Amino acid sequence: MTSSSGAAAAPSSPAEVVSCAFNQDASCLAIATTRGFKIYRVDAGTCVHEDESLGSVRLCAMLFSTSLVAVCGTGSTPSLSPRVCKLLNTSTRRCIADLAHASTILAVRMDRHALVVVEATRATVYSMQSLNVQRVIDTIANPRGIVALSACERSSTLALPSLGSGGGGTGGEGAASRRGGVVVHDCVNHLSLSEVDAHRGDVAALALNERGTLLASASTRGTIVRVFALPSCDAVCSFRRGALGTVIRTLRFASATGGGVGGGESDSKSYKSREKSAEEEAAARGVDMSAKAFSSAAPPPRLYGESYTPTASRETTPAKSRGGYGGASASAASAAASKW
């Protein structure tokens, strides 16, 4: 193909993958690209949604198998600022809300109760029903956006690097002893559950099992993965990855087997840890590891096909405000629940 001047037109470059993430039950894979984002069904391997009209997307997160998607851009266009979390209804291709923040958004997590937006030194927790800010949690310097959020229907457990952990302080030996801490929050009742002294070094990766009763953590040294029972913070077991240090970037519990997977720079390892044994051991010590220990006020579970309807109905246009929410269309949000 040639232009009117006779010069050959440059072919359009293919979209490049920027990041990818599974949804809460690993039934779908969301892929952020330099042109937009795509969503694939894992069982069939088919693309069920594609949007290349947005521009370059850096982060993409789903709410289970519903049509509610959160995206953050690379800043290539004014509408895709890296400091704005954009909530989209993929069924209607409408923007439900723009949640603006003061600094670059490093991670986004969602469950039935909460939307968590992680910045370098704090995490903002929004109510999934009203999109109002429920809590702002200060953290240590967290340039990788390390965070874990459970996928339980009845409770919502959040784990973040503790403010009292990490380097950069001037507290001498006492400050060094507090490195590697993890703080655990209940996003339903908006309170801190506990704090775990997980490692001597800074935390590099976190994972919660589906019910939020087990916490796995790895440090920047990358030799040991530790598992703790929640909310008691009792150590359940430790897995040695190897003698040589490495960078562990991903931890994840297997929902069916109770095992776990850790991903490093050049390899991945699987570990076996039956949650039933951990619960029996905790019960022997008088520790309650049930979901009731975290929240008794959570609503009953929803089916994936049910309507996602915020409790606050506001028909105003979303306004960009730091850490806040300027209004959402309830009619638009209620449609964001069709199953792929």
More confident residue, 327 or 55: 55
pLDDT of residue 247: 82
Same domain as 152, residue 123 = no
- Rounded to whole angstroms, the Cα distance separating 125 from 127 reads 7
- Structural domain includes residue 206: yes
pLDDT of residue 178: 58
In this structure, are strands 214-219 and 224-229 parallel, antiparallel, or unpaired?
antiparallel
pLDDT of residue 187: 95
Residue 7 DSSP code:
P
Same domain as 226, residue 127 = no
pLDDT of residue 86: 97
- Structural domain includes residue 48: yes
Q: Which residue has the tokens 């069982």?
A: 43
Residues 6+ apart with CB under 8 A from 50: 36, 37, 38, 39
Same domain as 112, residue 79 = yes
235-278 pLDDT, tens digit each: 998 888 777 778 888 888 876 544 444 444 444 444 455 544 44
Same domain as 81, residue 25 = yes
Do the Cβ atoms of 128 and 117 come closer than 8 Å?
A: no
Do the Cβ atoms of 149 and 180 come closer than 8 Å?
A: no
* Residues β-bridged to residue 110: 115
pLDDT of residue 260: 45
- Rounded to whole angstroms, the Cα distance separating 298 from 306 reads 17
* Residues β-bridged to residue 69: 62, 88
69-95 pLDDT, tens digit each: 999 999 988 889 999 999 999 999 999
Q: Of 3-17, 53-67, 116-130, 216-230, give the lowest mean pLDDT range.
A: 3-17
How many percent of the chain have pLDDT more than 70?
67
pLDDT of residue 329: 44
Do the Cβ atoms of 96 and 85 come closer than 8 Å?
A: no
- Structural domain includes residue 1: no
pLDDT tops 50 at residue 128: yes
Same domain as 18, residue 113 = yes
- Structural domain includes residue 299: no
Do the Cβ atoms of 113 and 136 come closer than 8 Å?
A: no
Same domain as 72, residue 46 = yes
Question: Exposure of 22 by Cβ count < 10 A (0-12 exposed, 13-18 middle, 19+ buried)?
Answer: middle
C-alpha dihedral, 71 to 19 to 226 to 157, nearest 10°: 10
Do the Cβ atoms of 138 and 99 come closer than 8 Å?
A: no
Number of compact structural domains in the chain: 2
Q: What is the CATH number of the domain that holds 65?
A: 2.130.10.10
- Structural domain includes residue 285: yes
pLDDT tops 60 at residue 60: yes
With the C-alpha atoms ordered 18, 109, 115, 38, is the resulting torsion angle positive or negative? Answer: positive
- 284 token code pair: 């022997």
Same domain as 310, residue 282 = no
Quote the domain boundaries for residue 197.
Answer: 147-289
Residue 8 DSSP code:
B
- Structural domain includes residue 297: no
pLDDT tops 60 at residue 322: no
Same domain as 241, residue 221 = yes
Q: Of 118-122, 182-186, 263-267, give the lowest mean pLDDT range.
A: 263-267
pLDDT of residue 173: 41
Residue 320 DSSP code:
-
Q: Which whole number is the average pLDDT over 15-23?
A: 94
Most confident residue range from 17-26, 117-126, 307-316: 117-126
Query: Which of 101, 315, 304 minimizes the C-alpha distance to 333?
Result: 315
Same domain as 59, residue 164 = no
- Structural domain includes residue 274: yes
- Structural domain includes residue 240: yes
Same domain as 129, residue 159 = no
Same domain as 264, residue 224 = yes
Same domain as 154, residue 284 = yes
Q: Of 40-44, 102-106, 281-285, give the lowest mean pLDDT range.
A: 281-285
Q: How confident is the model at residue 113 (pLDDT cuts 50, 70, 90)?
A: very high
pLDDT of residue 163: 86
- Rounded to whole angstroms, the Cα distance separating 85 from 73 reads 8
